[in-house]
């Protein structure tokens, strides 16, 4: 599955956005720190997003100051209204009329506000680990200390954020996420955006949401406490709350299958049956691992001393056994099932 990165002018500055897949749109409002190019290079990230992009065009973007977007972030843009202006500009740029929204973390607050202010545009809304009142995450002194740590010591601060975001992940996974955060934003921008995360307040907008809404939240989430997910679900009329166990806030680093099972049916995602080691031969698993590494059929043939035709047949068999439409989808499906 191939990603395309393009750029869009907004009232606040130029942003980078990425599209994956083909079909009706699914929009993911930006979360705290992202990098549309670097994130897609992660097999974990691709394995989580690929099922959501099957049969549709998945659209996500880097907020101003992050990733491949303009890296400067004027203070006057650090507001919920400015975040919405960016999303609105992207929607106009792409000519979108009506679409579902999947908001993760602070992206949920942006998604809720957008849905509340554009009731005829959002078909359905998913809030994953989300909130609508950032100040409720922690007492003021704690929020101030966390922002100060990120601003003054981004290396240590990124590791601290990884501990909060990935309570059930091992040290290597947390280190990977810390590195990804530092690649996405400078220390000063990360601190400014964290302050914005704490200031976001979409409670009034939540009451105006009129589309079907699903709120999925982990009971042990330490980055965005479970009570904030419950508050969000209580404020949005007729919202459904799905409670997940565990402490991981970022779904693609751990617990992706459980999250996809929870939100997939609501978004119309058909995940099929998960493959097992027994579904694929040893040679097919070997070939699939090389496909996951980005090798072409010719490269795999050279490495395994096979003919390109034989490799092509193996890949076709793998896709058929896993019931996946593409090489990337087969890799993502197998990664989620623990085959790779």
Residues 6+ apart with CB under 8 A from 288: 280, 318, 330, 331, 334, 339, 340
Per-residue tokens: 187: 């220390």
What distance in Å separates the CA atoms of residue 294 and residue 92, rounded to the nearest whole number?
Answer: 34
- Could you tell me if 211 and 122 are in contact, meaning their C-beta atoms sit under 8 angstroms apart? yes
- Could you tell me if 124 and 266 are in contact, meaning their C-beta atoms sit under 8 angstroms apart? yes
Average pLDDT, the chain: 92
Q: Name the least confident of 194-198, 206-210, 264-268, 335-339.
A: 335-339
Place 276 in a pLDDT band, splitting at 50, 70 and 90. Answer: low
What distance in Å separates the CA atoms of residue 18 and residue 39, rounded to the nearest whole number?
Answer: 11
pLDDT score of 12 more than 80: yes
- Could you tell me if 10 and 77 are in contact, meaning their C-beta atoms sit under 8 angstroms apart? no
In this structure, the dihedral spanned by the alpha carbons of residues 280, 284, 286 and 287, taken in order and rounded to 10 degrees, is -140
What distance in Å separates the CA atoms of residue 134 and residue 224, rounded to the nearest whole number?
Answer: 9
pLDDT score of 231 more than 80: yes
| CA contacts within 13 A on the Cβ side of 192 | 18
* Domains in the chain: ranges and CATH: 3-138+197-267 (3.40.50.1820), 277-336 (1.10.10.10)
What distance in Å separates the CA atoms of residue 139 and residue 295, rounded to the nearest whole number?
Answer: 49
Q: Name the least confident of 9-13, 124-128, 144-148, 333-337.
A: 333-337
257 membership: H or E segment, kind and range: helix 256-267
What distance in Å separates the CA atoms of residue 131 and residue 224, rounded to the nearest whole number?
Answer: 7
- Could you tell me if 5 and 23 are in contact, meaning their C-beta atoms sit under 8 angstroms apart? no
Ramachandran sector of residue 165 (left: φ over 0; alpha: ψ -120 to 50; beta: rest): alpha
- Could you tell me if 239 and 206 are in contact, meaning their C-beta atoms sit under 8 angstroms apart? no
6 membership: H or E segment, kind and range: strand 3-10
The 10s digit of each residue's pLDDT in 159-172 is: 999 999 998 888 99
Report the side by side order of strands in the sheet with 122-128.
3-10, 13-20, 57-61, 25-28, 99-104, 122-128, 213-218, 240-244
The 8-class DSSP code of residue 166 comes to: B
Question: What separation in angstroms does the CA of 12 have from each of 20, 59, 178, 314?
Answer: 25, 19, 27, 49
- What mean pLDDT comes out for the span 289-310? 91
The 10s digit of each residue's pLDDT in 32-81 is: 899 999 999 988 899 899 899 988 999 999 999 999 999 888 899 999 99
Q: Name the least confident of 118-122, 138-142, 219-223, 294-298.
A: 294-298
What distance in Å separates the CA atoms of residue 173 and residue 276, rounded to the nearest whole number?
Answer: 23
Place 325 in a pLDDT band, splitting at 50, 70 and 90. Answer: low
Highest mean pLDDT among 71-75, 220-224, 251-255: 220-224
């Amino acid at each position: 599955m191939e990603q395309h990165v393009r750029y869009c002018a907004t009232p606040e500055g130029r942003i980078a956005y990425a599209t994956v897949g083909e079909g009706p749109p699914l929009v993911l409002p930006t979360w705290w720190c992202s990098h549309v190019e670097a994130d897609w290079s992660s097999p974990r990230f691709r394995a989580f997003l690929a099922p959501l992009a099957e049969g549709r065009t998945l659209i996500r973007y880097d907020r101003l100051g992050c990733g491949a977007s303009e890296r400067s972030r004027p203070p006057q843009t650090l507001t919920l209204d400015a975040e919405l202006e960016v999303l609105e500009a992207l929607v106009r740029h792409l000519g979108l009329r009506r679409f579902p929204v999947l908001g993760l973390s602070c992206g949920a607050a942006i998604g809720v506000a957008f849905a509340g202010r554009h009731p005829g545009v959002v078909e359905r809304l998913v809030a994953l680990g989300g909130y609508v009142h950032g100040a409720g995450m922690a007492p003021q002194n704690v929020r101030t200390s966390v922002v100060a740590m990120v601003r003054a010591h981004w290396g240590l601060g990124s590791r601290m954020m990884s501990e909060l975001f990935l309570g059930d992940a091992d040290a290597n996974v947390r280190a990977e996420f810390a590195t990804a955060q530092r690649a996405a934003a400078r220390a000063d921008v990360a601190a400014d955006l964290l302050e914005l995360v704490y200031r976001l307040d979409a409670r009034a907008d939540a009451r105006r949401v009129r589309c079907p809404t699903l709120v999925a939240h982990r009971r042990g989430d330490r980055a965005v406490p479970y009570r904030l997910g419950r508050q969000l679900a209580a404020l949005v009329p007729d919202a459904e709350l799905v409670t997940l166990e565990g402490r991981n806030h970022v779904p693609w680093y751990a617990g992706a299958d459980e999250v996809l099972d929870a939100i997939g049916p609501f978004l119309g995602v058909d995940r099929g049956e998960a493959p097992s080691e027994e579904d694929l031969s040893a040679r097919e698993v070997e070939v699939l691992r090389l496909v996951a590494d980005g090798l072409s059929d010719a490269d795999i043939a050279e490495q395994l001393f096979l003919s390109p035709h034989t490799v092509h047949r193996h890949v076709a068999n793998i896709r058929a056994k896993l019931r996946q439409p593409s090489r990337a989808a087969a890799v993502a499906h197998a990664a989620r099932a623990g085959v790779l």
